[in-house]
Amino acid sequence: MKPAAKTSVLHIISSSYPYGSLEQPYEVEIRELSRYFDEIVIYPLSSSPVIRTVPENVQINLTLSTFNRKIKFTRFLSHFWFLTRTIMFEITKSGSFFQALRNLRYSVNSLLQCYLLGDAIYKLFDQNKENYFYSLWMNDGALIFSILKDRKKIKKFAFRVNGYDLFEERVKNGYLPFRNYNYDKADKVISVSRFGAEYLKRKTKYANKITWNFCGIYDPGVNPLDPSGVYTLVSCSAVIHLKRIDKIIESLRYLDFPVRWIHFGNGKLFEEILTQSKSLPNNISVEFMGETRNSEVMKFYSSTSVNAFIHLSESEGLGLAIIEAQSFGIPAIAVNSDAVCDIVNDSTGILLPAFSEPAEIAKAIKEHRGGYKNTVQFRKGVKEYWKGNFDAVHNYQALFNLLVNNDGVRKE
């Protein structure tokens, strides 16, 4: 008789998901992955009073978020050899030798914390089950699994890279702690974008481990374009310096026709941006919706005519907000920052140079308003591009295959 297959369990370390409102793309990802694994256990690094609904076969374990990270000095002494070996590996492999040394105290403390956190969750793994390991970021989650792999406690694992944990230009002094150690121990490094994967292949020595898997969403329908209505632009992002909402305002000043601009999102610059927008000319109507549930944003797209989505962020890991608009067939007017080029192209909207001036952006808006890209026919192509690249069912089946298979990965 053929032995029964082992129960498959995916162990995921998140930053906070399912707590709070961050890591929103992972709601769909984990929902889809739950179809392929018998069980999923999520270990958030932090938690909050607000928790989102997860599929029935997904468990939440708070071991990492409740762990006391204060470490006695004797712990450093008892783990001296491991700490020294790992730190020296990172320093010698890093192209930022002096930055690695400058961060030495932080690195040693972080490394020992993750060593102990790894011990805490390793006790929870049922060795009679088929266990898989996956971190949603290159943060403490990836480091915990790297240490467990280094200590031969687990056989293989993968982690995602998104934006802040991918582009070294985003971080102070261009140094990402333990990048080399994490990449060396991981079996797969999965970028959320094609652009990010190519970037990493140029920046690291682990090209054979690096791949990409787009995030995905479900088909929400079609945005009801009203050609006779007021030209409507939508943006959706945090109101912070990185997203350059002020540049949208400056671009709108150049327009001499009626425009309705709607922004979804909040942030520390909200009041400042609100004040700036009040000086726009009378032909520009502005609506700041503040922090809005994703379901409400999607409901808006399904019922309100939107001519274009505008996105001028300085840096972008991929751009889920653009993808969500695109899933309704809404074209985008965006600047070419990081992975935006994976979403916006001549078939889906207008992609401008990264540092375009407001006058150039306004010119693109005018051209869009009066051109073929502002038609129902063009929007059918936008929808098709989304379906071919960002459909949740297809993309997360591919992710499952990446997590359980070792094809194309260097064997130890």
pLDDT at res. 116: 96
Looking at the chain, the domain(s) classified CATH 3.40.50.2000 span: 8-216+393-404, 231-389
pLDDT score of 405? 84
Strand order, beta sheet including 188-191: 58-60, 39-44, 8-14, 130-135, 158-161, 188-191, 210-212
CATH architecture of 231-389: 3-Layer(aba) Sandwich (3.40)
- The whole-number pLDDT of residue 102 equals 72
pLDDT value of position 107: 85
Residue 409: per-residue pLDDT: 34
DSSP string, 346-391: TTTEEEE-TT--HHHHHHHHHHHHTSGGGSHHHHHHHHHHHHHH-B
What is the third-level CATH fold of 8-216+393-404? Rossmann fold (3.40.50)
pLDDT < 70 positions in the chain:
1-4, 95-101, 174, 406-412
- CA dist., res. 218 & res. 396, Å (int): 11
* List of residues 6+ apart from 368 with CB closer than 8 A: 307, 308, 331, 333, 349, 350, 374
Q: What is the pLDDT of residue 407?
A: 42
Kindly report the pTM of this predicted structure. 0.89
